[in-house]
């Protein structure tokens, strides 16, 4: 082989390698794109809800309160009759059966929406106002085009008569889409149009907060001690190996551990962010210790020597010089650990976070759900409305993860100091 041929071969090998690299990146990007596109196309409609515009008549005879009634009196009052009487006027019906079908177009919460409107403007007695009432899940999905209307009637959840009403409403411009505040405000519900991630958001927030408060200080102190102060001997080697092992333990094992120790033995309240936070902290600890130690290790020894040489004690050299320099890496490691904890589902299922919780938790010891578990719960539900809710929840979860990872990169770049 001549020198030229050899040179050519070397160049070719490099070109080939570059090509493989580009191809693998493109393939990876394609998968991400498919994933994002899929989630977006399914989930984006969940941020809107279908509403039906209805004229509500606050009939004094049906309401047992007067104008200027106190807030408590209104809350106590029964708006059921007002709701029924107003809603059945949305379309001319002939009999009770048709009336019932018409009423099923509206969400079960219609009565409370009407009450809320009354609360907001407390002198409506004897007056008529137009209100946007949330539609039922079936109509919601039909209006969003997620529901096939060309199936035979006996295989549809929506009857022919309801379709007629729907078309009438569309023709008269009585039906539309509003921002879905329920999705952010409400807890879980059996009715998809009312279900929201409010409870899961608060639950996830408390869990991660507790996880951070427990895991961060312990992990940072453990890393500093192991890296800077601990003697290098068999015991510390053993600890180091086991930290790495712990980071690789499947998260469900931590769930089992929490189930036995936190719930069965210590008897902490089940299904709560408190238990979730402790479990996630256990799981996250080794995952924070490892990057923490790596960033401490990355601080050049010359900085330590420089500090020691002017007479700083070991403690001063570590806390005045090494730790501040390792801080960006430590923080980004922590955030990435927390991001993993935020998306963790398996251990939470074991400690009972899969319970059906309607109320939004007001403290970390109230039963609650969390975002990934909510995804898991809804993905199993049969109702069509939960499909978009599931995807929308994934979108929320992903956006939190992206924000956290971005923050990690930003912190590292902003505060990283160069020492050469």
Partner 1 sequence: MNNIKIKSKNLNVYYGEKQALYDVNLDLNEKEVTALIGPSGCGKSTFIRCINRMNDVIDICKVTGNIEMDGIEINDKDLDVVSLRERVGMVFQKPNPFPKSIYDNVSYGPKIHGKGESKNELDEIVEHSLKKAALWEEVKDRLEEPGTSLSGGQQQRLCIARAISVNPEVILMDEPCSALDPIATAKIEELIDELKKTYTIVIVTHSMAQAVRVSQKTGFFHLGKLIEVGKTEKIFKNPDNKMTQDYITGRFG
Residue from 3, 234, 414, 417 touching partner 1 (CB under 8 A): that is 417
Look at the alpha carbons of 365, 366, 371, 374 in this order and tell me if their dihedral is positive or negative.
positive
Beta-carbon neighbour count of residue 218 at 10 Å?
A: 16
The helix (run of H) or strand (run of E) holding residue 207 is: helix 198-224
Task: Give every CB contact of residue 342 below 8 A, 6+ residues apart in sequence.
Answer: 204, 208, 371, 372, 397, 400, 401, 404
Nearer to partner 1 by Cβ, of 142 and 326: the residue is 326
Buried b (16+ CB within 10 A) or exposed e, 125-162: eeeeeebbbbbbbbbbbbbbeebeeeeeeeebebbeeb
Interface residue with partner 1, options 3, 94, 155, 232 (CB under 8 A): 232
Nearer to partner 1, 130 or 420 (CB): 420
| Residue (128 or 320) nearer to partner 1, CB | 320
Shorter beta-carbon distance to partner 1: residue 94 or 418: 418
Site string for partner 1, 55-94 (x = CB under 8 A): ----------------------------------------
Assess 300 for contact with partner 1 (CB under 8 A). Answer: yes
How far are the Cα atoms of 66, 373, 390 from residue 376, in angstroms, in the given order? Answer: 47, 5, 8
Number of residues located near partner 1, criterion CB under 8 A: 23
Q: H/E/C letters for each residue in 222-268?
A: HHHHHHHHCCCCHHHHHHHHHHHHHHHCCHHHHHHHHHHHHHHHCCC
Q: List the interface residues with partner 1, window 277-296 (CB under 8 A).
A: none
* Structure tokens, 169: 């409403």
- What is the smallest separation between the CB atom of 328 and partner 1, expressed in angstroms? 12
Indicate which single residue of 252, 304, 319, 379 sits in contact with partner 1 (rule: CB under 8 A).
304
| Least CB distance to partner 1 at residue 290 (A) | 22
Closest C-alpha among 258, 239, 410, 245 to residue 344: 258
Q: Name which position in 64, 305, 359, 380 contacts partner 1 (CB under 8 A).
A: 305
C-beta closer to partner 1: residue 68 or 311: 311
Residues 318-377 contacting partner 1, CB under 8 A: 320-321, 325
CB of 419 to partner 1, least distance (A): 5
Binding to partner 1 by residue 311, rule CB under 8 A? yes
The reply to whether 413 sits near partner 1 by the rule CB under 8 A is no
Instruction: Give the nearer residue to partner 1 in terms of CB position, either 156 or 321.
Output: 321
Answer for the pair 107, 135: CB distance below 8 angstroms, yes or no. Answer: yes
- For residues 242 and 228, give the distance between their C-alpha atoms in angstroms, rounded to a whole number: 18
CB of 321 to partner 1, least distance (A): 6
Asked if 382 is part of the footprint of partner 1 (rule: CB under 8 A), the reply reads no
> Given the DSSP bridges, would you call strands 128-134 and 48-57 parallel, antiparallel or unpaired?
antiparallel
231, 248, 265, 414: which one contacts partner 1 (CB under 8 A)?
231
Cβ atoms of residues 100 and 88 within 8 Å: no
Query: Are the C-beta atoms of residues 99 and 28 closer than 8 Å to each other?
Result: no
In the Cβ-directed half-sphere of 118, how many Cα atoms lie within 13 Å?
34
Q: Which is nearer to partner 1, 73 or 305 (CB)?
A: 305
Please identify, using beta-carbon distances, which residue of 307 and 350 lies nearer to partner 1: 307
State the Cα–Cα distance between residues 41 and 48, nearest whole angstrom: 13
Which of residues 247, 268, 303, 407 is near partner 1 by CB under 8 A? 303
Q: Which is nearer to partner 1, 178 or 316 (CB)?
A: 316
Q: Which residues are at the interface with partner 1 (CB under 8 A)? A: 231-232, 300, 302-313, 316, 320-321, 325, 417-420
């Amino acid at each position: 082989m001549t020198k030229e041929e050899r040179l050519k071969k070397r160049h070719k090998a490099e070109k080939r390698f570059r090509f493989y690299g580009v191809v693998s990146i493109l393939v990876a990007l394609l998968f991400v794109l498919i994933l994002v596109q899929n989630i977006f196309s399914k989930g984006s409609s969940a941020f809107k809800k279908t509403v039906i515009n209805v004229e509500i008549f606050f009939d004094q005879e049906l309401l047992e309160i007067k104008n200027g009634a106190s807030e408590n009196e209104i809350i106590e009052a029964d708006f059921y009759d007002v709701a029924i009487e107003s809603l059945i006027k949305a379309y001319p019906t002939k009999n009770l059966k048709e009336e019932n079908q018409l009423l099923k177009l509206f969400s079960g919460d219609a009565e409370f929406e009407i009450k809320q409107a009354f609360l907001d403007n407390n002198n409506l007695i004897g007056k008529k106002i137009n209100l946007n009432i949330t539609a039922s899940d079936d109509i919601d999905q039909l209006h969003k085009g997620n529901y096939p209307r060309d199936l035979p009637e006996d295989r549809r959840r929506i009857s022919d008569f309801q379709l007629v009403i729907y078309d009438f409403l569309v023709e008269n411009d009585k039906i539309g889409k509003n921002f879905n505040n329920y999705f952010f405000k409400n807890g879980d519900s059996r009715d998809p149009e009312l279900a929201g991630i409010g409870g899961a958001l608060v639950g996830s927030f408390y869990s991660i907060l507790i996880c951070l408060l427990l895991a961060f200080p312990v992990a940072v102190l453990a890393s500093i001690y192991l890296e800077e102060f601990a003697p290098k001997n068999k015991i510390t080697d053993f600890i180091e190996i086991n930290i790495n092992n712990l980071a690789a333990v499947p998260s469900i094992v931590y769930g089992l551990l929490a189930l036995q120790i936190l719930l069965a033995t210590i008897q902490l309240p089940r299904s709560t962010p408190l238990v979730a936070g402790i479990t996630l902290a256990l799981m996250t600890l080794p995952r924070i210790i490892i990057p923490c130690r790596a960033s401490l290790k990355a601080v050049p020894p010359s900085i330590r020597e420089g500090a020691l040489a002017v007479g700083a004690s070991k403690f001063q050299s570590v806390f005045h010089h090494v730790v501040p320099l390792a801080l960006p890496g430590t923080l980004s490691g922590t955030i990435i650990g927390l991001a993993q904890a935020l998306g963790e589902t398996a251990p939470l299922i074991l400690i009972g976070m899969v319970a059906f919780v309607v109320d939004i938790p007001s403290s970390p010891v109230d039963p609650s759900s969390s975002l990934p578990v909510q995804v898991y719960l809804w993905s199993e539900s049969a109702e069509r409305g939960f499909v978009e809710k599931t995807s929308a929840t994934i979108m929320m979860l992903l956006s939190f993860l992206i924000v956290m990872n971005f923050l990690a990169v930003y912190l590292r770049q902003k505060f990283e100091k160069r020492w050469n």
